[in-house]
Homo-oligomer: A and B are copies of this chain.
């Protein structure tokens, strides 16, 4: 039922792309992987680790002969990359990305590919690790991960089905939604928390006592700020691309914080406990990918 691909052309051999290649190999879904990264040392390392079989000197070289192409590059680079490889985006090839924002990717794909954008399936596997890079690539990264596919009206139904079967074969839980729905949801559950974690770190660093404060931080701080260690290029692009949705979610947070300020100012212990209980119960019930 699931297609076995002849060759994966992997563009970007970091954590996301490298993990995809490893997972495809492990599942026996691809015969060979030709990889390209902007940095030759990454491509070399990917081959040394067995993430790819062959190093390509260019993105075009990685695509030549591939019936599956995965773009795992920063979202802001997706449009230019699709333009570069446009001759390979065609009916007999499944092309996907893994970017964290989707409206901008879909717009860039339409612009770069025109009518052939129908053969490109925008994908966002919601997975990650504290460490990025090819050395962190992991065949298990997408197991049980939510994978969002965001077809447009133009997207080929066959390609969409093929993409869905592929991600499910890798252990992903596929959801299909519009690019706008995806971006709105991600603003809420990912982009805003990242921005808040970044801002929180900066708010601490701006205080004269910053070094002492950081030395007193414990396990709660460790977890709350883990995402503040995210890659600046990646998050710059994501926050810019999705800024209006993020701004909308920030308003929700500010309103919820004002509830806390109000009950604290009133020293209303009962109302405060209710606010905390609501959050605590919901968090206790939450399960990833449920």
**Chain A interface (Cβ < 8 Å from any Cβ of B):** 126-129, 145-146, 148, 175, 184-186, 188-190, 192-207, 209, 212-233, 235-236, 239-240, 243, 246-247, 249-250, 252-257, 259-261, 264-265, 267, 269, 272-273, 275-280, 282-284, 286, 288-290
CB distance from A189 to the nearest CB of B (A): 4
- Distance between Cα atoms of A214 and B249 in the complex (Å): 14
A239 lies within 8 A of B264 (CB) = yes
Residues in chain B near residue A229, CB distance under 8 A: 280, 283-284
A185's partner among B184, B190, B213, B230 (CB-CB below 8 A) is B213
B146 lies within 8 A of A216 (CB) = yes
22 sample A-B contacts, Cβ–Cβ < 8 Å, listed by A number? A175-B216, A185-B212, A185-B213, A188-B213, A189-B218, A195-B260, A199-B259, A199-B275, A200-B253, A201-B283, A203-B255, A206-B255, A206-B256, A222-B288, A223-B227, A225-B286, A229-B283, A230-B276, A231-B280, A232-B280, A239-B260, A239-B272
Residues in chain B near residue A175, CB distance under 8 A: 215-216
Copies in the complex: 2
- Distance between Cα atoms of A279 and B216 in the complex (Å): 17
A128's partner among B206, B218, B277 (CB-CB below 8 A) is B218
- Distance between Cα atoms of A154 and B230 in the complex (Å): 46
Smallest CB gap from A194: residue in B: B220
A256 lies within 8 A of B212 (CB) = no
Residues in chain B near residue A233, CB distance under 8 A: 273
A193 lies within 8 A of B220 (CB) = yes
A127 lies within 8 A of B279 (CB) = no
A252's partner among B197, B207, B216, B217 (CB-CB below 8 A) is B207
A230's partner among B225, B264, B280, B286 (CB-CB below 8 A) is B280
B228 lies within 8 A of A279 (CB) = yes
CB distance from A43 to the nearest CB of B (A): 25
Smallest CB gap from A236: residue in B: B273
A280's partner among B126, B198, B217, B252 (CB-CB below 8 A) is B198
CB distance from A82 to the nearest CB of B (A): 20
- Distance between Cα atoms of A192 and B199 in the complex (Å): 13
Taking A198-B275, A198-B279, A225-B286 as given, write out 8 further A-B residue pairs in contact, using a Cβ cutoff of 8 Å, ordered by the A residue number: A188-B204, A192-B200, A195-B257, A197-B224, A202-B275, A205-B282, A218-B288, A223-B223
A232 lies within 8 A of B190 (CB) = no
Residues in chain B near residue A215, CB distance under 8 A: 146, 175, 289-290
Residues in chain B near residue A188, CB distance under 8 A: 204, 207, 209, 213
Using A201-B279, A275-B198 as known contacts, say yes or no to A216 and B264 having CB atoms under 8 A apart: no
CB distance from A201 to the nearest CB of B (A): 4
